[in-house]
Amino acid sequence: MTKPKLRIGLIGTGFMGKAHAFGFASAPRVFDLPYDLELVTVADVTEESASRAARAFGFARHTTNWRDITADQSIDLVSITAPNALHKVMSLEAIAAGKHVYCEKPLAPLAADALEMALAAEAAGVKTQVGFNYLCNPMFGLAREMIGAGELGEIRGYRGIHAEDYMVDAAGPYTFRHDPAGGGALADIGSHALATAEFLVGPITRVMGDCVTMIAERPDGKGGRKAIEVDDLGRAFLRFANGATGSIEGNWISTGRKMQHDFEIYGSKGALAFSQEHFNELHYFSTTDAKGRQGFRRIEASPDHAPYGLFCVAAGHQIGFNDLKAIEVAGYVNAIAGAPEPFNFRKGLRIQSLVESIQRSSAEGRWLDV
């Protein structure tokens, strides 16, 4: 009855490092995982942050050299939450050492890099995971189940958005998110809108992009100013393989919006509307409801919507953002034990490719196949 161990190393202890640590701590308490998770080593750039994280997150050891993790024979899984520019080198070294790799999004600044990473992982036969945790929401699972079961009929259209306002202040300085290699609102958060669109409706086949820079320059942090080359918002028209059409938008200057990862999907028999601002709900309209009694129905997350019931035994209590990470961890740990990978490097690459196609389409002012 003793479970095998899955030995974990974590690189990075910032927001997402903490989220991974949270996932590793709570997933085993919520799910019946196929492994016992053993937290071996955590790495960060300073001794102080690494040692603090080790104790807070429950890791046995800490280091300021991330290669102590990728080179450690005893470690099975490497979590990478370091800056984006390092994802590739860390992943490739971990894969070369035969480790499973759990990497935060974006997988790499450019699709070409992501492709190299995906190919390496596939060649090595390791299991990979990219952090697109919004997809782990039980209400997304419900939506996909309903679509798959034909409850909406033939899917006709889709509208998706991921809007926040963390770049609304033109006096905010240039950051790594403004780096022309991989930066911009479409890449940073529009990528979530694209992941959700394909999760629900299936493959996108063509795109027409509209990427816009509204704040032309920002303080460079050294007393000067720096021109901004990346988009503050990126829109796209979409064609799907199943015949549906749609649109998405990624936007980081959408004043007042903190987490608007929303979608609406409509078919010949029904529709679904979702807002991340109330992410424990899914709104469902059915044309088969009785005349005079039709309307969007606010379905609250409940034990009927797995795996919600593992978190809360009653409807309406609600899971939180970090719980999505625990679901992601559980899915990935199950994949290591043989289940399908929920969102592997190949899928991460796909999102990067879509982003780049939309950017190129916008630059060229024409539709592109993807």
Can you tell me the distance from the alpha carbon of 279 to that of 261, in angstroms, rounded to the nearest whole number? Answer: 9
Site size with its own copies, rule: CB under 8 A: 94
Task: State in angstroms the smallest separation of the CB of 219 from its own copies.
Answer: 16
Candidates 287, 337, 339, 363: give the one binding its own copies (CB under 8 A).
Answer: 287
Return the residue of 115, 177, 315, 360 that touches its own copies, per CB under 8 A: 315
Give yes or no for residue 6 binding its own copies (CB under 8 A). no
* Of 295, 337, 339, 369, the one binding its own copies by CB under 8 A: 295
Nearer to its own copies, 126 or 319 (CB): 319
From CA 77, how far away is CA 95, in angstroms rounded? Answer: 10
CB closer to its own copies out of 115 and 166: 166
Q: Which one of 166, 177, 202, 226 is in contact with its own copies (CB under 8 A)? A: 166
d(CA 145, CA 249): 24
In terms of CB distance, is 222 or 291 closer to its own copies? 291
In terms of CB distance, is 175 or 255 closer to its own copies? 255
Q: Nearer to its own copies by C-beta: 114 or 236?
A: 236
Residues 115-154 that bind its own copies (CB under 8 A): 142, 152
Query: Is 299 near its own copies (CB under 8 A)?
Result: yes
Q: 209: buried, middle or exposed (CB in 10 Å: 19+, 13-18, 0-12)?
A: buried
Distance, in Å, from the CA atom of 38 to the CA atom of 132, rounded to the nearest integer, reads 23
Task: Considering only residues 196 through 255, tell me which ones interact with its own copies, judged by CB under 8 A.
Answer: 208, 210, 212, 214, 232-233, 235, 237, 245, 247, 249, 251, 253-255
CA–CA dist 246, 44 (Å, integer): 42
Binders of its own copies among residues 40 to 99 (CB under 8 A) are 55-58
Could you tell me the smallest distance in angstroms from the CB atom of residue 78 to its own copies?
A: 19
* Contact residue for its own copies among 44, 104, 164, 198 (CB under 8 A): 164
User: Cα(77)–Cα(54) distance, rounded to whole angstroms?
Assistant: 17
Contacts by residues 43-49 (CB-CB < 8 Å, ≥ 24 positions apart): 43/9, 43/10, 43/11, 43/12, 43/68, 43/69, 44/11, 44/12, 44/13, 44/17, 49/13
Phi, psi dihedrals of residue 7, rounded to the nearest 5°? -95, 130
Which amino acid appears at position 201 of this protein? V
Judged by CB under 8 A, the chain residues 27 through 46 that form the site for its own copies are: 28-30, 32, 36
Separation in Å, CA 301 to CA 106, 142, 234, 265, 283: 29, 9, 31, 19, 11
Before 307, cis peptide (omega within 30)? yes
Q: How far is the CB of 123 from its own copies (least distance, A)?
A: 35
By the rule CB under 8 A, 330 interacts with its own copies: no
Q: Residue 122 or residue 264: which is nearer to its own copies going by CB? A: 264
Verify binding: residue 259, its own copies, rule CB under 8 A: yes
